[in-house]
Amino acid sequence: MKSFFRMSYPYILWIALFIVAPMVMILLYAVTRSGNGTITFSFTMENFARFLSDPTFLKVLWTSLRIAFLTTVFCILIGYPAALFIAGLPEKRQTLMILLLTLPMWINMLLKTYAWRGILMNFEDLSSEIRVFIGMVYDFLPYMIIQIHTAIAKLDPNLKTAAYDLGANPWKTFLKVTLPLSVPGIISGITLVFLPAVSSFVIPKLLGGGNYVLIGNLIETYFLVAGDWNFGSAISLIMALIIILSMYLTKKLDTTAKEE
């Protein structure tokens, strides 16, 4: 048993160096003032107060949450019928469809975003928000489809047969059997879409043309352009708390759905 535990030492070291240590540094920057020495630190909460008291920053946060919510909703509306269609195909065709669906995911997101930038340049009437929205739905839609398809594909076909034997039509069977049992897949898809969408900065930067700023772009600006690591760290922690809260709520919904 001890030998197996020793095999985990490299992973523990990796986590400590590349996850725990950066988070500790971000926390330290967030609660201190800029210009501190290497020994003494001046602790403060003014970085958080600055963000929460400025309407401009709160507007950026609201815009990020709104665009992430809309992206998630549209991914569900498009992804569920697609996943349902794929799950109804023969097994070999399902494998082919999932392969075709995942092929674009093998391409770097930056390259795909540049490709969409070239396409959307031909539509000058589109606003920056719509451009960003299209890019986000395109990038995150496969994650929603795959999660929902996995949940639907695992359903026992005898459940549908039993529903038909009891007099239920296809629509009622879907509402009473397929949809409720696929809720865990929907919740998993929400997690994989909403969390990266709310913190995305590459897509808004390239497709928004600099006119559409989300919270990820704000963090990037204060770290790389303004050089205010203290305020940037505070924004990062606020976003981390929002993401943790979102994960808690989705996990609670998932647990409730499984119990029901």
CB 175 within 8 A of CB 92: no
Q: Closest by alpha carbon to 178, among 156, 201, 205?
A: 156
Query: What mean pLDDT, rounded, does the chain reach?
Result: 86
- Least confident window among 36-40, 50-54, 87-91, 209-213: 36-40
Between 122 and 77, the higher pLDDT residue: 77
Q: Of 20-24, 38-42, 75-79, 232-236, which gets the smallest average pLDDT? A: 38-42
Q: How does DSSP assign 212-243, residue by residue? A: ---HHHHHHIIIIIS--HHHHHHHHHHHHHHH
**115-159: per-residue pLDDT in tens?**
999 898 888 888 889 999 999 999 999 999 999 999 999 888 888
Q: CB–CB of 186/76 below 8 Å?
A: yes
- Count H helices and E strands in the chain, helices first: 15, 0
Q: Which are the contacts of 201, defined by CB distance < 8 A and separation ≥ 6?
A: 214, 216, 217, 219, 220
164-189 residues labelled b (16+ CB within 10 A) or e (exposed): eeeebeeeebbeebbeebbbbbbbbb
Q: What pLDDT, on the 0 to 100 scale, is given for residue 259?
A: 67
Percent of the chain predicted with pLDDT > 70: 94
Average pLDDT, stretch 53-60? Answer: 92
As a whole number of angstroms, the distance between CA 75 and CA 67 comes to: 12
Residue 112: pLDDT over 60: yes
How high is the pLDDT of residue 3? 64
pLDDT at res. 248: 86
Confidence of residue 255 (pLDDT cuts 50, 70, 90): confident
Over 70: is that where the pLDDT of 28 sits? yes
For residues 251-258, give the mean pLDDT: 73
Residue 65 pLDDT class (50, 70, 90 cuts): very high
Residues present in the chain in total: 260
Enumerate domains of the chain plus CATH numbers: 59-259 (1.10.3720.10)
Close Cβ partners of 234 (under 8 Å, ≥ 6 residues apart): 29, 30, 47, 48, 50, 51
Phi, psi of 43 (to 5 degrees): -80, 145
- Please identify which residue in the block is written with the tokens 């994960």: 247
